[in-house]
Amino acid sequence: MTDFAATRARFQLPAGVIYLDGNSLGPLPVAAAARVARTVEAEWGEMLITGWNKAGWMEMPARLGDRIGRLIGAEPGTVVLGDTLSIKVYQALASALEMNPSRRVILSDSGNFPSDLYMAEGLCRTLGDGYRLKTVAPEEVEAAIDETVAVTMITEVDYRTGRKHDMARLTARAHAAGALAVWDLAHSAGAIPVDLAGAGADFAVGCTYKYLNSGPGGPAFIYVAPRHAEAARPALSGWLGHEAPFAFDLNYRPGRGIERMRVGTPPVLQMAALEAALDVWDMAAMADVRARSIALTERFIAGVEAACPALTLASPRNPAERGSQVSFRHPEGYAIMQALIARGVIGDFRAPDILRFGFTPLYIGEAEVDGAVAVLAEVMDGALWDRPEYKTRARVT
């Protein structure tokens, strides 16, 4: 059994704050500050450029990729870190499209995060030749997978509502129709059990600064199924994805396996923070995290529905159909969230009307759930949100 009191002690959480936004930016693992300081002072400071060899910086993208792989059911040697998620979406899509050359359609859904859709549109524009993005409602994805679809690009857990797609089922459907399946795990990795190998996913991508707690700007990851590892051609063919980067050949030859999905110089300081964050994950079993996440989200929904009748549940009621977040709708959602944040309960707002709360068992328990419900009830009962200063939109919501 996972000791959640012990995992919680590994995070620095400001006093007086109930943090329900680890789905957007995970909090600071206590050990990360010292780990980053050591990388700065003892490695960068003392070793200078020799750190790439002596401190193992060059191996970090694959070494830490393997540690993330264990959390998402990936085979060893199939995950590598680098860049941001938007870039990794582009890379996965471009390689997958090239592997299905007789088809032109990328299928996604309207619940996907806009950046994924924008990257797909940009890629289609660059490719020309009839390539296009087709977007359907989330519940229509399965029926829309037909013989025209080259690649499905689905985010498993909807960033707004928390609705979860059935990865195994949609992947099987894609394969039956002759399409490849690209999965975005932004709201899955570290949130719910994922079994990429079991589901037969072709490509997957995700970020580390949400549930994995690597800190702002932490690198993304990409997974390529072993059966495609030597066939997938990288569209972003940077030097560190080359078979022999330090041969400085004028011609590109893809590196071995997942190494080819590297692009350029990796973010060493961010990876140091991620390494400390992953040490906490070594203390946790994903099945325990999931069970506790469900208990916490069920408790939150019951509490809010009893105390705040003006809020409408936007997440699936069945816990098996949602990730590790709960969302409610209200036309004044933005102002309500600002009033909550002013009182130390941090969630976030997603346009047009979604109040979003992430539940992260590594550091959130029943007391935080009950505390958040009590503050939300107070804000709603007294219309405490109805103040001009809560209605001015900040740049980041």
Binding site for ligand PLP (CB under 6 A): 84-86, 113, 115-116, 155, 159, 184, 186-187, 207, 220
Give the neighbor-by-neighbor strand order of the sheet with 79-81.
79-81, 220-224, 203-207, 180-184, 149-155, 105-109, 132-136
Distance CA(121)–CA(125), nearest Å, equals 6
**Which is closer to ligand PLP, CB of 21 or CB of 116?**
116
Report the nearest approach of ligand PLP to the CB of residue 77 (Å). 24
Instruction: Cite the active site residues.
Output: 113, 184, 209-210, 356
CB of 282 to ligand PLP, least distance (A): 24
Closest CA to 86 of 239, 242, 219: 219
**DSSP codes joined into one string, 34-66:** HHHHHIIIIIIIHHGGGHHHHT-GGGHHHHHHH
CB-based contacts of 222, cutoff 8 Å, min separation 6:
79, 80, 82, 88, 91, 92, 203, 204, 205, 258, 261
Residue (333 or 358) nearer to ligand PLP, CB: 358
* Residue 273 vs 335, nearer CB to ligand PLP: 273
Q: Which residues contact 315 (CB under 8 A, 6 or more apart)?
A: 161, 162, 163, 297, 301, 322, 325, 326, 327
Report the nearest approach of ligand PLP to the CB of residue 163 (Å): 13
Shortest distance in whole angstroms from residue 221 CB to ligand PLP: 11
Can you say whether the dihedral through the CA atoms of 186, 190, 194, 196 is positive or negative? positive
Distance CA 133, CA 117 (A): 8
Considering only CA atoms, give the Rg of the chain.
21
What's the min distance (Å) between Cβ of 110 and ligand PLP?
13
Q: How far is the CB of 119 from ligand PLP (least distance, A)?
A: 9
Residues 6+ apart with CB under 8 A from 220: 81, 82, 83, 84, 85, 87, 88, 205, 206, 207, 208
